[in-house]
Structure 1
Amino acid sequence: MRSDFSKLWPPFGLRLSCGPIELSAIRDSDLLELVDAAADIHPDSLRPFPENWAGLPADARAATLARKYWAQRSSFSPNDWQLSLVVRLDGQIVGVQGAEAKAFPALRTPDTYSWLARGVQGRGVGTLMRQIICSFLFDELGATAVTSGAYDDNPASIAVSKKVGYVPNGRRLELRDGVAAAHTKFILHPSNFVRPPLPVEIHGADQFRAYLGLQMCDPGAAPQPAETCVDDAR
């Protein structure tokens, strides 16, 4: 019986690692441990997300996370995708690092997002997991820029963005639990990217690029939409 689910959904074949941290696509077998990790993300006084899913009772939080990640899987397309990767620190699930993009083959500007269990915050994990996914987006997918954002009263997220090399890129009001809150956008270009101190190891990128309709035109070149890479022998 076939057991390689990456044949059905290529993101399952992704594995990004650097030092003690590994990122991989969320599988159903990860969900219960992920829900436990999400039980203590932030104090009640902080609201880092548009909706306070982390503050829900355990059963509601579990159902919300499961629906969220299942929906991302089922709606994934080259022109509109969300890729949430489970974060493991020394093998233990501690959070999620993700990226999302619309019209990626044309715009090449994905947006990053994340959450991290409070017990491992303040130890450089948030910075390293962001560096890992940005390495993947720039080096394997050919992103021309990467964006992120944070509410102005979330200094930890803002600090991570600045450490990785993002710069402010506008400020506006966005809804948070139905109330307007100041939100700052950040943008990262390859020239400003602060890479991690150790190499990032990436597995499964070829299959993922093919799933997005991208391919390497020349060795060492940025990936391009498949239709723009024409073999001279044709």
Structure 2
Amino acid sequence: MAHPYWPLFDLEVRTPRLTLRWPDDELERRMIEVALAGIHPPETMPFGVPWTDLESPDFERSALEHYWSNRMARPDSWNLLFAVIVDGEVVGSSNIGAHGFPVRRWFETGSWLGAPYQGQGLGRELRLATLHLGFLGFDALMAGTGAYTDNAPSLGVTRSLGYEHNGIQHHERRGELAVIERFRMSREHFDAHVRRDDVELIGDGPVRELLGVSRADD
């Protein structure tokens, strides 16, 4: 049954391998449990905000605050978080966000997988699913992403999909300088080299209305 007031609760992206689902309270709890079990070795930090350095219960409370704050969505600024689900099991999270999207038509993506689910091609599959939502669901013109230079898995996914390099950024990470590589993908490249016909979007129409996004066939 469709949610009567907030269509994001009905938003899904389905591929043959996984589902991205906008999370309710139960899915958020399961996402936190996956993150608590481990995402990366403690000596590394793949995230711009080092949220995995927090100890319990601050870890769990901070994660919930982050999830709840991102339930807000306005046409000028939004960041949609998704639970990544494989065979009914939550394995990680993906997000798609934008500022000034109705004019700029540019979105950014990010994601993480629990350690037991890495190295199985799921990172590439969930990135592809997120790109389908941005380009086909929201009619974007450009997608952006980035990763620290020592985050080989993320950079590998990005390069395998044919993103164009888009410069670097200097960041402070745990008190030291770190470099993020930036990348972008055009709608033309997506249509020619990435788009698949086995990816299904569920509930994207009402979400477009919520976000002030129009598409030619609406």
Could you tell me the TM-score, scaled by structure 2's length?
0.92
- The structure-2 alpha-carbon separation of the partners of 1:133 and 1:72, relative to structure 1 and needing over 3 Å to count, comes to same
Pair 1:143 & 2:125 matched? no
Contact 1:19 1:198 in 2 (8 A): no
Count of residue pairs the alignment pairs up: 215
Which deviates the most, 181-190 or 53-62? Answer: 53-62
Contact 2:138 2:215 in 1 (8 A): no
2:67 to 42, 66, 69: 69
Partners of 1:45 and 1:147 in 2: how far apart? Answer: 27
Aligned to 1:114, the other structure's residue is in SS state: strand
For residues 1-59 of structure 1, what are the alpha-carbon distances to aligned partners after superposition, in whole Å with 9 as ceiling and x for unaligned?
xx85x332221110110012000112111122111110210001211012321232232
* Residue of structure 1 equivalent to 2:201: 202
Could you tell me the TM-score, scaled by structure 1's length?
0.86
Which amino acid in the other structure matches residue 43 of structure 2? S
Aligned to 2:71, the other structure's residue is in SS state: helix
* Residue of structure 1 equivalent to 2:166: 169
- Large movers: runs of 4+ above 3 Å: none
- The structure-2 alpha-carbon separation of the partners of 1:191 and 1:181, relative to structure 1 and needing over 3 Å to count, comes to same
Aligned to 2:201, the other structure's residue is in SS state: strand
* Residue of structure 2 equivalent to 1:184: 181
Partners of 1:165 and 1:91 in 2: how far apart? Answer: 30
Deviation at residue 197 of structure 1 after TM alignment: 5.9
Partners of 1:139 and 1:131 in 2: how far apart? Answer: 12
Contact 2:80 2:96 in 1 (8 A): yes
Partners of 1:139 and 1:163 in 2: how far apart? Answer: 20
Aligned to 1:7, the other structure's residue is in SS state: coil
Deviation at residue 159 of structure 1 after TM alignment: 0.6
Query: Tell me, which stretches of 5 or more residues in structure 1 are unaligned?
Result: 224-234
Contact 1:23 1:88 in 2 (8 A): yes
Contact 1:50 1:177 in 2 (8 A): no
Partners of 2:80 and 2:174 in 1: how far apart? Answer: 24
* Residue of structure 1 equivalent to 2:17: 20
Which deviates the most, 28-37 or 100-109? Answer: 28-37
For residues 60-84 of structure 1, what are the alpha-carbon distances to aligned partners after superposition, in whole Å with 9 as ceiling and x for unaligned?
211111000101113x211100001
For residues 191-221 of structure 1, what are the alpha-carbon distances to aligned partners after superposition, in whole Å with 9 as ceiling and x for unaligned?
323436661011101101111122333x3xx
Which amino acid in the other structure matches residue 145 of structure 1? M
* Residue of structure 1 equivalent to 2:154: 157
Greater relative contact order (CA < 8 Å, ≥ 6 in sequence) = 2
Contact 1:86 1:96 in 2 (8 A): yes
* Residue of structure 1 equivalent to 2:84: 87
Q: Percent identity?
A: 29
